[in-house]
Amino acid sequence: MRIAIVGGTGYVGFCTGLGFASKRHDVVLIDLNAKKLAGVREGRCPVYEPGAAEILRKVLDQGNLTTATIIPEADIILLAVGTPSLPDGGINVTQIKKVSETIGSTIKTWNTSPVIVVKSTVVPGTTETVVKPIVESTSGKHAGTDFGLVMNPEFLREGVALKDFLNPDRIVIGEYDKRSGDLVATLYKDFPGTLMRTSLAAAEMIKYANNAFLATKISFINEIGNLCKRLGIDIDEVAKGIALDKRIAPHFLQSGVGYGGSCFPKDVAALASLAKQNGYEPKLLNEVMALNKRQRRLLLDRLGPMKGKRVAVLGLAFKPNTDDVRESPAIDIIGDLVNQGASVVAYDPQAMITMKQVFPNILYAQTAKEALQTADACVVLTDWNEFKELTIEDFTQMHGTQIIEGRRILKPEINADGLCW
């Protein structure tokens, strides 16, 4: 199939594009960022994702992936643009609206009936009440007859995005019309996982409920972890014990400094905001968000006043194997340290370029060991595998002895103070 992906150099657009191209579909990535598109043509990935460079090289060589700045004629036009948060927690649909206009004016002259697939995370109702009317008015065509409409949420995780995309637990196809649902089902025909066909709004809600549930699991285990810390109980033994219950499962049960990233914080906030708009007080969701923020505060409180002190921050990405720092705990923690008058020296294997855009004026070390040199204190905020290799000797280069782990990754003999263990 010919698939045009709008937002094609973003995390979701790019990984989706690589995934479909690796299945021999003809994919065209469209984006506003011409520099990144040029990079893709030369084999450079616009985002850091393990394994992506090899697949990019292969699909470019096979001729299954190209780039464009305008949408070419295609069977499927997939929207993967951003839906960032508004100050009230709701989502900003500016990019969705703009792209819907562009799609409408583009398909106006087409003699075919493309299917428009919304892959961006959008609150229930958006595909039908925002995308559909804009495409209809700008194209002069009708949904369900002249063009199709599907909402197909994405569940991939950064760091394992390609594996997740190609091996989903389930594929959700929210359809406005059956023909479009059938076409998108064909697109996924040789993917593993359960294929589920729903209404547009149910598909939109499944994505939010999914992320809100996982965020709840994290805040739950952090609550238990904070209590275990006070009681001298090892939270990881407790987490392992409950994870053996099939009804619970082991994922998202690592207590620590809390969740970040471009999805959980924004999606839980958007769901809470939607609830409020509909006259329902989302008590559990509010508490999940508050507990998550509190983990960052607890770490800073444990550190104590840092004015005039040098603090090594190991790990800037919101999770390992990505360069994404959006809503990373490191942002709040570094911001607070800088405001206090501490001198921060940061290190991350992949995320220093992205973090430099947020904090251009802190110090960045070339290695974790270098960051530790002469530091009065150290905090570990991302569980990158390479931090497992740090030795007691590396930490003896510090001036102080305070080492606080927000993620459990250092060798036990280093005797760091775990946030919840």
Instruction: Give the whole-angstrom CA distance, residue 391 versus residue 337.
Output: 25
Please tell me the distance from the alpha carbon of residue 141 to that of residue 149, in angstroms, as a whole number.
12
With respect to ligand NAD, which residue has the nearer C-beta, 13 or 181?
Answer: 13
CB of 155 to ligand NAD, least distance (A): 6
Which of 4, 5, 9, 375 binds ligand NAD (CB under 6 A)? It is 9
Give, as ranges, the residues between 66 and 95 that touch ligand NAD (CB under 6 A).
80-83, 95
Q: Using the rule CB under 6 A, which residue among 5, 6, 184, 325 binds ligand NAD?
A: 6
Binding flag, residue 292, ligand NAD (CB under 6 A): no
Q: Does 404 bind ligand NAD (CB under 6 A)?
A: no
Cβ closest to ligand NAD, residue 12 vs residue 239: 12
For ligand NAD, the closer of residues 134 and 416 by Cβ is 134
Q: How far is the CB of 132 from ligand NAD (least distance, A)?
A: 18
**Quick check: 260 binds ligand NAD (CB under 6 A)?**
no
Distance between CA atoms of residues 198 and 415, nearest Å: 51
Quick check: 262 binds ligand NAD (CB under 6 A)? yes
Closer residue to ligand NAD, CB minimum distance, 82 or 315: 82
The pair of three-digit structure tokens given for residue 51, joined into one six-digit string = 């394994």
* Segment lying near ligand NAD (by CB under 6 A), choices 2-10, 135-143, 234-242, 308-316: 2-10
Asked if residue 108 lies in contact with residue 114, where contact means CB atoms within 8 angstroms, the answer is no
Residues within window 88-147 making contact with ligand NAD, judged by CB under 6 A: 95, 98-99, 120-121
325 Cβ contact partners less than 8 Å away, ≥ 6 residues apart:
316, 317, 318, 331, 351, 354, 355, 358
40 forms part of the interface with ligand NAD (CB under 6 A) = no
Long-range contacts of 229-238 (CB under 8 A, 24+ apart): 229/418, 229/419, 229/420, 229/421, 234/421, 235/420, 235/421, 236/408, 236/421
CB of 247 to ligand NAD, least distance (A): 25
Q: Which of 156, 184, 235, 409 binds ligand NAD (CB under 6 A)?
A: 156
Q: Does 168 bind ligand NAD (CB under 6 A)?
A: no
Choices 24-32, 308-316, 357-365, 381-389; region in contact with ligand NAD by CB under 6 A: 24-32
> What's the min distance (Å) between Cβ of 270 and ligand NAD?
9
Which CB sits closer to ligand NAD, 13 or 418?
Answer: 13
What is the C-alpha to C-alpha distance for residues 406 and 260, in angstroms, rounded to an integer?
13
Q: Is 28 in the site for ligand NAD (CB under 6 A)?
A: no
CB 421 within 8 A of CB 236: yes
**Residue 162 Cβ vs ligand NAD, minimum distance, rounded to whole Å:** 12
Nearest Cα residue to 335 out of 319, 354, 352, 316: 316
Name the residue with the smallest CB distance to ligand NAD: 10
Name the minimum Å distance from CB 10 to ligand NAD. Answer: 2
Distance CA 161, CA 322 (A): 10
Nearer to ligand NAD, 7 or 19 (CB): 7
List the catalytic residue out of 15, 228, 263, 420: 263
Query: How near is the Cβ of 414 to ligand NAD at its closest, in Å?
Result: 31
Residues 197-236 that bind ligand NAD (CB under 6 A): none
Least Å distance, CB 351 to ligand NAD, is: 14
263 is a catalytic site residue: yes
184, 218, 263, 330: residue in contact with ligand NAD (rule CB under 6 A): 263
Q: Between 260 and 315, whose beta carbon lies closer to ligand NAD?
A: 260
User: Which residues of this chain interact with ligand NAD, rule CB under 6 A?
Assistant: 6-7, 9-13, 30-33, 80-83, 95, 98-99, 120-121, 154, 156, 158, 262-263
Active site residues: 263
